[in-house]
Structure 1
Amino acid sequence: MRTTRRDLLKWMAMAPAAALLSNSVLAGASKTVFASKRPPVSQRKFTSAAVEKLIATTKARIGDPELAWLFENCFPNTLDTTVQVGTLRGKPDTFVVTGDIDAMWMRDSSAQVWPYVQLASQDKALQQLFRGLIHRHALCISIDPYANAFMPDPGAKSNLEWAQHDLTDMRPGVAERKWEIDSLCYPIRLAHGYWKATGDTAPFDDDWHAAMRIVLRTFREQQRKDGPGPYHFQRTSPTPSESQFLQGYGNPTRPVGMIHAMFRPSDDATVYPFNIPGNLFAATSLRQLAEMLRAIRHDDSTAGECIALADEIQRAAETHGVIHGEQGDYWAYEVDGYGNQLFMDDANVPSLLALPYLGACAQVDARYQRTRSQAWSTRNPYFFQGRAASGIGGPHEGLRMIWPMSIMLRAFTSNDAAEISQCVAWLKATHAGTGFMHEAFDQDDPAKFTRSWFAWANTLFGELIVTLADRHPQVLRKA
């Protein structure tokens, strides 16, 4: 039986908290000196003066020493441990690993550096980092727009053991080839955010422009109006969600204008190929791309195509992706265009819970609020409540396993100080003495967790604390 990514990550989980909680958490935050868990300065992959300044000013606004310690460990974790900056083919290049896997996921790499975008205008080194990552994303898209993860060497064969025998069209430079809509959305979100924050147009050259046209072509291919398209994927695995149905093309659909996704942001297979959070994210990203194409590349034609596709996706989602409940409409998680609908939510972003965070709807939108209530309830089979916390997980790590990411998104999408405070308390109470966030933890026992080095969760937590310092400072003062 082959080792899967899921197996590897479980093996990499750290020792029980009994061996970890010997000092800080058990001793009491008010009397404990919390030693930094950051690497020594000489061993950090990347240092930003603007990030260090923000860490210092934000820490000063946090009333609880343990929470301040968690923030200082987590917020710079991507820069400290996962960023590789250099040049490639004569351009700035940035490669960002997920943490404990030596490959770059398009989604994770974009999300990991997102909290630093707001600081890029203050820091030339950060600008170079973002320029390099935007170039790298464009290169990855040109290699294979259907891949979710890539190798540092664009000509290398995948070194991921679980991907060696996949039945799909693998190419050099690709680490894993699971087609996920958000893999093409996140680079647009990052590029748009960077441009808005800095006004810098240097990364948006001819190669980037060509890559964005590939994004548009790929989204259209996966509307599957004229057949199944070129993508297929199968994997020999004891875990069914590692492979796809019907020779790797997925379950049947009726083409209605939405984009087919074979895998979710969790890297788990879709049940119904129209993933609603992914499609709504795509519509948002296409509108952002259109704005950039017009303003930077003066390409009104392709921009118009992006807007037309975004409108088509939005209409199809409104028509086929809505569940009509007794208390009002709310979003499904996946549908097939035939009328079959799956309701659940998964902690990985894009999720239903995260729609306002991604700009896909307003936080006060009535349909979103109904969806949010359903997702954070027993209506969602992957909502878990235990002695340690309440939160959303997903099939990837199974029952009882809450993802801290879901608790963070609960706080991001709330204006209720009590609700936000509860989320912060859960996050502070479930790091199992490590000083970092994890992929998932058991609802009753945070010592049972997966992934001791998961940079996305760490920097997302840091982003949450920075956001709360601006929008709800009283929560941090009282924490």
Structure 2
Amino acid sequence: MLSRRKFIQKSSLGFGFAMMPTSFNFFDLNDFVSQRPELSKRKFVSTAVENTIKKVKKSIADSELAWIFENCFPNTLDTTVHYYQKNGKPYTYVITGDIDAMWLRDSSAQVFPYLSLAKDDEKLKNLLKGVINKQIEFVLLDPYANAFYDDNQKVSEWKNDYTEMKPGVHERKWEVDSLCYVMRLSYHYWKTTGDASIFDEDWKNAMLLILKTFREQQRKENKGPYKFQRGNGNPLDTQFGGGYGNPTHKNGLIHSMFRPSDDATFYPFLVSSNMFAVVSLRQISEIFKMKFSSLNIDNQFFELANEVDEAIKNYAVFERNEFGKIYALEIDGFGNALFMDDANVPNLLSIPYLGYANFHNEIYKNTRIFSLSKSNPWFNEGKFAKGIGGPHVGENKIWPLGLIMQALTTDDDEEIFYCLKTLKNTHAGTGFIHESFDVNNPKDFSRSWFAWANTLFGELILHLYDKKPEILKRKF
């Protein structure tokens, strides 16, 4: 099985199409044939999802954009889920697409847009409960791992990493956001459906383990139990300092050894992930206050959230002459900071999407201008597109995830229109959203089957359908 990075190096599939031109007339209307698997080969079929596709498609004036939505929105259900019952509980294993492993982050993001439809589809609701139950099972197995197998007999290609690899673990990169995504999905499932049945003993124990893990990674007393190194020679795949990362001045922030791109952090305090932790801890505090009030533990989640929040305000904000006060992506607590943004979520661009601050917040507005400027070393611009990329895929590449998040974090119609137009013009004729593409050659892309990007694109279209339907009525 290929790793993400090996897949990037070996892929760049073009499906035989020429480079997408800037003209909007590449396809004839009759060319927009569904790229979904035939009905009998789909992994899961939801009536609510199918009805939503039909309804939303009718509101999209641009036929090509409507076609991409039809292909992308159900992609997670069509191709990546395995639903089953075990010990009377539903479980859903969700692969990322081209890699047969379940990332805590990706699986949460892949199913998140379906939450709003669960009330109308009991079958879909059970599938979502199954994702949460599967994530809880994995967290209890190892809260420091980022990706898992459904079969604990399967041997990972990363079995020789210098860390504690347990059976069932695909990769053990410690990423704060992985656990935040688990908390986010649980919280929003409850808020959307009103169903508190997921909050059983296993769920409670997993949340307490997350609390313990976050505290360990504040490293107030010692370095904690986690360390990681990989001997493949790629500096983005390993960590400094014997696997513990660069030194830090302990200030209440949570250390994260890797970013949501699965790249190593340079400074261990990854600010956007700590922001995500603030939001997620407060959400779990609310659940514990409602469901487990007799334990009197909810205040522990809330107090940790406040401590991290205070540290962000005190240590993560820097004055930059051309931008004013902005957030750094990574810091070490000694005053050193990494000024860049990476397209993967959570990033600085996604702060309002995460719920940490709204897009009218002054520091966020300044940070957003920085992220989407050439002062961000991973902001790339070329013949076909401009947007945020990252070291995971290299220079002159951008991630469609960044374009989607750019559209989700602005109220500017023209900026949203630009993002949609660019996404439409860079899918290389495939009808799907890719991990990355070259800004001068969209047919040079990575990962033809990347369900997170596909489903997040669907989430954007649903967002516009609800909040800005007039944009979808425009021709691109």
TM-score w.r.t. the length of structure 1 is 0.96
* Larger CA deviation: 400-409 vs 8-17: 8-17
SS, match of residue 460 in structure 2: helix
Q: Does 1:245 align with 2:245?
A: no
The residue aligned with 2:402 is 406
Q: CA deviation at 1:89?
A: 3.8
Q: CA deviation at 1:15?
A: 3.4
Measure the CA separation in 2 of the matches of 1:57 and 1:334.
Answer: 42
Conservation of the 8 A alpha-carbon contact between 2:2 and 2:99 = no
Q: Does 1:464 align with 2:460?
A: yes
Q: Does 1:302 align with 2:288?
A: no
SS, match of residue 441 in structure 2: coil
SS, match of residue 378 in structure 1: coil
Q: One-letter code of the match for 2:380?
A: F
Q: CA deviation at 1:33?
A: 3.6
* Larger CA deviation: 320-329 vs 419-428: 320-329
Conservation of the 8 A alpha-carbon contact between 1:157 and 1:171 = no
Conservation of the 8 A alpha-carbon contact between 1:13 and 1:450 = yes
Over 3 Å counting, the alpha-carbon distance change for 1:223 and 1:208 in structure 2 is: same
Q: One-letter code of the match for 1:467?
A: H
Measure the CA separation in 2 of the matches of 1:243 and 1:224.
Answer: 20
The residue aligned with 2:175 is 180
The residue aligned with 1:209 is 204
Over 3 Å counting, the alpha-carbon distance change for 1:71 and 1:299 in structure 2 is: farther
* Larger CA deviation: 298-307 vs 37-46: 298-307
Q: Does 1:218 align with 2:217?
A: no
The residue aligned with 2:98 is 100
User: Which consecutive unaligned segments of at least 5 residues does structure 2 have?
Assistant: none
Q: One-letter code of the match for 2:12?
A: A
Give CA-to-partner distance per residue, 1:438-461, whole Å, 9 cap, x none.
000001100100000000000000
Q: CA deviation at 1:297?
A: 2.6
Conservation of the 8 A alpha-carbon contact between 2:17 and 2:429 = no
Measure the CA separation in 1 of the matches of 2:3 and 2:42.
Answer: 30
Q: CA deviation at 1:157?
A: 4.1
The residue aligned with 2:9 is 10
Q: One-letter code of the match for 2:161?
A: D
Over 3 Å counting, the alpha-carbon distance change for 1:9 and 1:158 in structure 2 is: farther
Measure the CA separation in 2 of the matches of 1:28 and 1:276.
Answer: 42
Mapping for residues 325-474 of structure 1, pairs under 5 Å: 325-326=320-321, 327-474=323-470
Q: CA deviation at 1:364?
A: 1.1
Over 3 Å counting, the alpha-carbon distance change for 1:429 and 1:228 in structure 2 is: same
The residue aligned with 1:151 is 149
Conservation of the 8 A alpha-carbon contact between 1:44 and 1:80 = yes
Conservation of the 8 A alpha-carbon contact between 1:151 and 1:158 = no
Q: 1:110 aligns with which of 101, 108, 111?
A: 108
* Larger CA deviation: 137-146 vs 81-90: 81-90
Q: One-letter code of the match for 2:296?
A: S
Conservation of the 8 A alpha-carbon contact between 1:20 and 1:434 = no
* Larger CA deviation: 190-199 vs 25-34: 25-34
* Larger CA deviation: 295-304 vs 330-339: 295-304
Measure the CA separation in 2 of the matches of 1:302 and 1:440.
Answer: 42
Give CA-to-partner distance per residue, 1:360-397, whole Å, 9 cap, x none.
11121111111000000011100001111111011101
Measure the CA separation in 2 of the matches of 1:88 and 1:19.
Answer: 48
Conservation of the 8 A alpha-carbon contact between 2:249 and 2:333 = yes
Q: CA deviation at 1:164?
A: 2.3
Give CA-to-partner distance per residue, 1:24-58, whole Å, 9 cap, x none.
x9864464341000000110001111111111110
Conservation of the 8 A alpha-carbon contact between 1:439 and 1:451 = yes
Q: 2:317 aligns with which of 317, 322, 337?
A: 322
Q: CA deviation at 1:91?
A: 1.6
The residue aligned with 2:85 is 87
Measure the CA separation in 2 of the matches of 1:282 and 1:156.
Answer: 32
Over 3 Å counting, the alpha-carbon distance change for 1:115 and 1:436 in structure 2 is: same
Q: One-letter code of the match for 1:379?
A: S
Conservation of the 8 A alpha-carbon contact between 1:391 and 1:402 = yes
Give CA-to-partner distance per residue, 1:11-34, whole Å, 9 cap, x none.
233236536979xx9864464341
SS, match of residue 164 in structure 2: coil
The residue aligned with 2:63 is 65
Measure the CA separation in 2 of the matches of 1:201 and 1:265.
Answer: 29
Over 3 Å counting, the alpha-carbon distance change for 1:33 and 1:299 in structure 2 is: farther
Over 3 Å counting, the alpha-carbon distance change for 1:307 and 1:360 in structure 2 is: same
Give CA-to-partner distance per residue, 1:105-130, whole Å, 9 cap, x none.
00000000000001111110111011
Measure the CA separation in 1 of the matches of 2:456 and 2:350.
Answer: 12
Q: CA deviation at 1:193?
A: 0.6
Measure the CA separation in 2 of the matches of 1:39 and 1:57.
Answer: 20
Measure the CA separation in 2 of the matches of 1:410 and 1:320.
Answer: 26
Conservation of the 8 A alpha-carbon contact between 1:29 and 1:64 = no
Measure the CA separation in 2 of the matches of 1:17 and 1:242.
Answer: 32
Conservation of the 8 A alpha-carbon contact between 1:131 and 1:202 = no
Conservation of the 8 A alpha-carbon contact between 1:158 and 1:176 = no
SS, match of residue 354 in structure 2: coil
Give CA-to-partner distance per residue, 1:231-275, whole Å, 9 cap, x none.
000001221110000110000001100000000000000000000
Measure the CA separation in 2 of the matches of 1:37 and 1:296.
Answer: 44
SS, match of residue 128 in structure 2: helix
